[in-house]
């Protein structure tokens, strides 16, 4: 399925970096009266993680039903075990996603929280301190990791509630028949549509019914772009369809700017560089972000279409992992996000097409080899679907 069900009359607030996100998230949890559903890829037991853990424990202590899902790989084996113990003793229900890869290679990369079916959060921000790199090195960063989330109130929250409930069922240890019955019940319990002007929709990627939904949302937006498209992404390695969509938009006169995070993973940087020649030749402006770690997965097209979420523009996010984005059709929000991305572009360094054209042959060979390796691994994981 590729359809996005949009709803109107939502209130959506842009949250930039942890300094805005975590206070809002903890305040919502502290105000919870009935239930909290939280999903994340990384749940670190640092100061930020401990503060959020305390809020979840406080909620459970006053009788709120609290469900937490954290990815086993993203959080780490040891931390996942510690979280399970901490939460179990405090009355918080905790599930680790796909421990030991028992359910295949896919990870849950989603960052979602729904509180009391009234307020929800979605974006790219993990539960960890954004003053340290989010890899195993945990290196201090020169500035807070640059990322975004949104706070949502309104009809869309009901759709997000249904999604987190389904995820809780999927991650559980139910027998197959019971899992299917509860899955069908949860799917049919809510049918929410709006005939009013479109505002926002939830876009998820999984390996069941929504294999291409997030990529399709990008492709449709780029295909309809008339004036501009600005994308910020940390790990740029999409399949051919998305790369071609960017190039086609630029060739027909759309002002396309791609802000890419660099400096964290050498091989990833080389893979992204392998795409630069064709993108630059088509007229795509490529800017590399150097101020700190870029973790944002955001885009704005024509100042009336925007997306914020967990999905990178790479093979793992678009073809393997479970992801969740919000697509927003609102001029005011789009302008706000575009201005934020513009500040990131100002902190970056534009790639000079002429200078890049004179990159030495051994560097080009390294870029090509990195892409060949990356493509080969992703083709195996995705059974040949990565090139799409």
Q: What is the spatial distance between Cα 53 and Cα 83, in angstroms, rounded to a whole number?
A: 9
Tell me if domain 6-188 and domain 205-381 are identical in fold.
yes
pLDDT computed for residue 2 by the predictor: 52
Q: Is 6-188 a CATH 3.30.750.24 domain?
A: no
pLDDT computed for residue 383 by the predictor: 85
| Residue pLDDT, tens place only, 241-299 | 999 999 999 999 999 999 999 999 999 999 999 999 999 999 999 999 999 999 999 99
**Secondary structure class of 252 (helix, strand, coil):** coil
Annotated domain spans of the chain: 6-188, 205-381
Q: Helix count (H) and strand count (E) of the chain?
A: 13, 16
Q: What is the spatial distance between Cα 180 and Cα 210, in angstroms, rounded to a whole number?
A: 17
Q: What is the spatial distance between Cα 33 and Cα 23, in angstroms, rounded to a whole number?
A: 18
Q: Listing from the earlier edge strand, what are the strands of the sheet with 285-289?
A: 6-7, 200-205, 323-328, 305-309, 298-301, 228-233, 255-261, 285-289, 348-350
pLDDT computed for residue 136 by the predictor: 83
**Of 202, 297, 258, 292, nearest to 6 (Cα)?**
202
Binned average pLDDT, 10 residues per bin, the chain of 388 residues: 78 97 98 98 97 98 98 97 96 98 96 98 98 91 98 96 96 62 44 51 92 95 98 96 98 98 95 97 97 98 96 96 97 96 97 93 96 94 86
pTM of the prediction? Answer: 0.93
pLDDT computed for residue 203 by the predictor: 97
For 154, other C-beta atoms within 10 Å of its C-beta total 18
Q: In the CATH hierarchy, which fold is given to the domain comprising 205-381? A: Endonuclease; Chain A (3.30.870)
pLDDT computed for residue 183 by the predictor: 47
> 177 pairs with which residues across the strands?
none
Computed on alpha carbons and rounded to an integer, the radius of gyration of the chain in Å comes to 20
Q: What is the spatial distance between Cα 256 and Cα 230, in angstroms, rounded to a whole number?
A: 6
Q: Tell me the catalytic residues.
A: 109, 111, 116, 295, 297, 302
């Amino acid at each position: 399925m590729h359809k996005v069900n949009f709803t109107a009359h939502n209130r959506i607030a842009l949250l930039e970096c942890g300094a805005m996100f975590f206070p809002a998230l903890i305040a919502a949890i502290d105000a919870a009266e009935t239930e909290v559903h939280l999903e994340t890829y990384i749940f670190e037991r640092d100061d930020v993680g401990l503060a959020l853990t305390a809020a979840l424990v406080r909620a459970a202590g006053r009788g709120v039903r609290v469900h937490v899902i954290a990815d086993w790989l993203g959080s780490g084996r040891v931390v996942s075990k510690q979280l399970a113990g901490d939460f179990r003793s405090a009355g918080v229900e905790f599930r680790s996603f796909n421990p030991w890869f028992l359910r295949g290679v896919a990870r849950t990369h989603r960052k979602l929280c729904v509180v009391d079916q009234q307020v929800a959060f979605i974006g790219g921000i993990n539960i960890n301190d954004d003053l340290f790199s989010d890899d195993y090195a945990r290196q201090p960063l020169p500035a807070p990791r640059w990322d975004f989330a949104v706070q949502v109130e309104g009809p869309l929250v009901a759709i997000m509630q249904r999604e987190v409930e389904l995820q809780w069922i999927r991650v559980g240890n139910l027998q197959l028949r019971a899992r299917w019955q509860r899955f069908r019940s949860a799917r049919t319990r809510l049918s929410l549509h709006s005939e009013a002007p479109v505002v926002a929709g939830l876009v998820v990627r999984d390996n069941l019914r929504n294999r291409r939904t997030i990529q399709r949302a990008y492709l449709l937006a780029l295909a309809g772009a008339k004036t501009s498209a600005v994308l910020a992404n940390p790990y740029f390695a999409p399949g051919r369809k998305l790369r071609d969509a960017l190039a086609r938009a630029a060739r027909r006169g759309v002002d396309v700017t791609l802000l890419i995070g660099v400096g964290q993973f050498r091989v990833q940087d080389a893979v992204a560089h392998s795409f630069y020649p064709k993108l630059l030749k088509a007229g795509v402006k490529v800017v590399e972000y150097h101020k700190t770690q870029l973790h944002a997965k955001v885009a704005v097209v024509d100042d009336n279409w925007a997306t914020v979420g967990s999905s990178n523009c790479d093979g793992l996010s678009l073809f393997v992992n479970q992801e969740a984005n919000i697509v927003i059709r609102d001029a005011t929000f789009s302008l706000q996000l575009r201005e934020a991305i513009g500040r990131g572009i100002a902190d970056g360094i534009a790639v000079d097409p002429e200078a890049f054209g004179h990159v030495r042959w051994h560097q080009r060979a390294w870029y090509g080899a990195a892409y060949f390796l990356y493509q080969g691994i992703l083709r195996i994981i995705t059974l040949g679907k990565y090139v799409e």
